[in-house]
Amino acid sequence: MRRETIAANPRRYVKMLLVCLVVLLVVDAVAGWPFLVARLQAVAVLDKVGGQSVPALVRWLAVEPVKATELTLTLPSGVERARMYTPVNHPDAPGMVVVHGVHYLGMDEPRLEAFASAMAGCGLRVLTPELPDIKDYHIGASSIASIGDTAAWMAHESGDKPVGVMGLSFSGSLSLLAAAAPQYRRDIKFVVAVGSEGEMLRVANYYLTGKALRPSGDAEVLAPHEYGALVLEYESLQDFVPAPDRDAVRLVLRDHLYEDFAAERAALAKLTPGQLAEAKQLMDTTSAATRKMIEESDERHLAEMASVSPDGQLAQLETPVFLLHGEGDNIIPSAETQWLEKDVPKEMMQASLISPVISHLDLDGKGPGFADQWRLVHFFAQVLHAAEAR
């Protein structure tokens, strides 16, 4: 069944937001001005990311001119490309770091650019670093230090004041681990993990079984997107393809992950018959033979998976945490946020929301009902309020 998207029904979406605005005005007349501002700004952020025009009522609060500046950061963990989004009228605004997910465009991914610009338009300085390993589909522990060092740099640039960190997809889990590390504790004001996992092995098992285990003991049955299994294959291709064929097959997988289908067809045309058979086997992520290969590869990398999993590593966390997940996420299932809720110390848990309004990282879930839209606005308002607090 085709899911309704915000782009497909903008009038319904705008009407829903207008209703939200009326309710916000009533509720926040009691709660106070800062909360009203944060909620109106949250409406603006969701509008911009959803490709909608911002209602005139909130435009003056959340459509500040933004300047984007390219940076090269020299950090203890290495040299890093980054981009700073600065509200023109508030160059000393509070800082926030937003870390991209596993995507070949890295910090240039259009959804990330739109989100960072929208957040900066609300009066925040937003830094989007580019993590080379994550950009190249490698989810490794080295990126934890990259995130921590970036937060430390941003905190220093903010007058030695801690900054918020938002990690998208697998980077959300790495951001939680960075916040739990003693050397970065003073630099990170809070963490927002969006569509993130609690345990990498559990997610890898989901790719094999289509069953997302919940803390309650039951499981959600949800067909996994091929993307997750392909990332595991690409990251550990040495477990699947003999060395002489590896480079040629890697190009096919890379072009497929990049969604460059013309390049993928060209790469396939250059393969030998044996290499073509290997590539087709890996691309068929639902076959029993391929899943057996993935299972065997997972067994070889248990230690690496544990090193990037918050599971059992957050007991000493002293940083406030916000968790957001799409209800129908079939790359990292929403059950993982339920596991993260158990891992984060209770006194550090600020808000957790599993929303049908979003999928993995897109505003394209089942179609927003009023209550669902309200909850999402409220969640982002809490994040914005935390980010803007000096």
What pLDDT digit, counting tens, does each position of 348-358 carry? 999 999 999 88
Looking at the predicted structure, is the pLDDT value of residue 381 above 60? yes
CA dist 88 and 125 (Å) reads 10
Q: CATH code for 67-201+306-355?
A: 3.40.50.1820
- DSSP class of residue 216 equals T
Domain boundaries, the chain: 1-63+362-390, 67-201+306-355, 206-210+220-305
Mean pLDDT of the chain: 88
How far, rounded to the nearest angstrom, does the alpha carbon of residue 227 sit from its chain's CA centroid?
Answer: 15
**What pTM was computed for the model?**
0.87
Strand, helix or coil for residue 351: strand
What pLDDT digit, counting tens, does each position of 98-149 carry? 999 999 999 999 989 999 998 898 889 999 999 999 999 999 999 999 999 9
CA dist 232 and 206 (Å) reads 12
At 7 the pLDDT is 42
Strand, helix or coil for residue 281: helix
Task: Sort strands 321-326 and 188-194 into parallel, antiparallel or unpaired.
Answer: parallel
At 2 the pLDDT is 31
